[in-house]
Amino acid sequence: MSGSRRPAARRGQLVPVLVGLLLGGCQADRIPAPAPGALVEQTLFTSGEGGYDTYRIPALLTTQAGTALAFSEGRRNSRRDHGDIDILLRRSTDGGRTWSPPQVVVDLGPDTCGNPTAVEDRETGTVWLAFCWNLADDEENLVIRGDSRDTRRAFVTASADEGVNWSPPREITEGVKSAEMRWYATGPGIGIQIRHGPDRGRLVVPGDHSYPASDGDLRGARAAFGAHAIVSDDHGASWRLEGVIRPGVGEPQVAELADPPGRLLANLRSYAGRSRRAQATSDDGGASWTAPRDQRRLVEPVCQASLLRYSWPGEPTGDLLVFSNPASRRRENLVLRASADGGASWPRALVIHSGAAAYSCLARFPDGRIGCLYEGGDTDPYERIVLATLPVAALIGDGLR
Q: Residue 306 in contact with residue 372, Cβ under 8 Å?
A: yes
Strand segments (E) across 283-347: 293-299, 306-311, 320-326, 332-339
The pLDDT value recorded for residue 399 is: 80
Give the CA distances from residue 174 to residues 128, 132, 150, 157, in Å, rounded to whole numbers and listed in that order: 18, 13, 14, 16
Sign of CA dihedral 382, 102, 235, 240: positive
Q: Residue 169 in contact with residue 236, Cβ under 8 Å?
A: no
Residue 149: Cβ within 10 Å count: 10
Domain extents in the chain: 5-390
233 burial (CB, 10 Å; 0-12 / 13-18 / 19+) is middle
Query: What gap in Å lies between CA 74 and CA 12, rounded to an integer?
Result: 33
The pLDDT value recorded for residue 401 is: 61
Strand segments (E) across 47-97: 54-62, 68-75, 85-92
The pLDDT value recorded for residue 29 is: 62
- In terms of Cα–Cα distance, which of 353, 379, 366 is closest to 58? 353
The pLDDT value recorded for residue 1 is: 44
**Checking phi first, is residue 219 left (phi over 0); if not, alpha (psi -120 to 50) or beta?**
left
The pLDDT value recorded for residue 396 is: 97
Query: What gap in Å lies between CA 261 and CA 352, rounded to an integer?
Result: 32
Mark the ranges of the chain whose per-residue pLDDT is less than 70.
1-29, 401
DSSP string, 120-169: E-TTT-PEEEEEEEE-TT--HHHHHHT-SSS--EEEEEEESSTTSS-PPP
* Domain 5-390: CATH class, spelled out: mainly beta
Residue 151: Cβ within 10 Å count: 18
Collapsing DSSP to helix, strand or coil, 393 comes out as helix
The pLDDT value recorded for residue 4 is: 39
Q: The whole model's pTM is what? A: 0.93
366 burial (CB, 10 Å; 0-12 / 13-18 / 19+) is middle
The pLDDT value recorded for residue 7 is: 38
